[in-house]
Each structure stands twice: as C-alpha cells, then as structure tokens.
Amino acid sequence: MSGPSFEALKRFFENNAAARKATNPLHRDARVGLELASGPAHFTMQTGAPQVLDGPAESPDFTLILPDGAVSHITALESDDVGEFGVEFFKLVLSRAPETKVRIRVQATTARLLSNGYLGVLAVGGAKVGWWLLKNGVRNPKAAIDRLRGK
C-alpha cells in the first residue's frame, strides 16, 4: 500500500527529530494500528526505532483513524518541540471537522498501555502537553486513557 498519508507518516517517524524523541520511551512491543484513507498500516517499535509499515497491526495497543487532513497537519509542523506536536495532536482528537478529526480506538488494557511506555510519551511532551490536557479537563494519565476510551 502506498498513499500520501502513508508516505508522509513513514518519513515523519523515520526522519523528524521531535517524532523520534517522542517515541523514545516506547517499548519494542508498542504497536499502533493506523487506518488511513489508502488502507491499513501500523506503527511499531519492534526494531527499537519507530517504523510505519504496510498492513494492519497485529494486536495493536490502540488504533488511530487518521484522515489525510490530520496527517498533513501534523507532518507539516516545522518544530522540534515534542510538546507542540502533542498539543496539535490532541487538538485534532477534539476537532469537529471530519477532514481533520482523529479518532482513537483503544484495544489494550491500561496496564499494557503503561508497560509499553505511552505515559513516557506524554512526559516527553512536558508541561506544554500537561497544561493543555488540564485545561481541557484531563486531570491525570488514567483520566486521559478513560477519555480516549470514551468513558
């Protein structure tokens, strides 16, 4: 499979300094399904480095449904600030516009999400992400996970 969003995400995770820094805390077992306009793909840390690969993820921790507009927005940001990327990502999660709205389907248990390092990704985003989440009603990491689950 190929397509503009797949290629943009592949380049982004392989070459963008902020993306590489943000994914550094992730365990090699971290797997994220990606539902793109051109078909399924997945993100993995299996080799110890972030990779976007063709095809569906096997037993993903969660799946991101990413319209092309959301992928274009995130991958076009010119910053090395992980916090800036984090805030922009969460803005897309809250977006009401179908062309940019990111939807998340959490499949893993909270324990598996924590053991695979996703809390560390939030921490790398620092105070910028923390304050933005607080301002938007997310008081702690469990509340963030519950909100993503739709609770």
What is the residue-wise DSSP string for 100-147? T--EEEE-S-HHHHHHTTHHHHHHHHHHHHHHHHHHTT--SHHHHHHH
pTM of the predicted model over 0.85: yes
- 141 has a pLDDT exceeding 90: no
pLDDT in tens, 91-126: 999 899 999 999 999 999 989 999 999 989 988 988
Query: Domains (ranges, CATH) in the chain?
Result: 4-149 (3.30.1050.10)
pLDDT band at 147 (very low <50, low <70, confident <90, very high): low
Q: Can you give the pLDDT at residue 134?
A: 76
pLDDT band at 9 (very low <50, low <70, confident <90, very high): very high
* Mean pLDDT of the region 129-140: 76
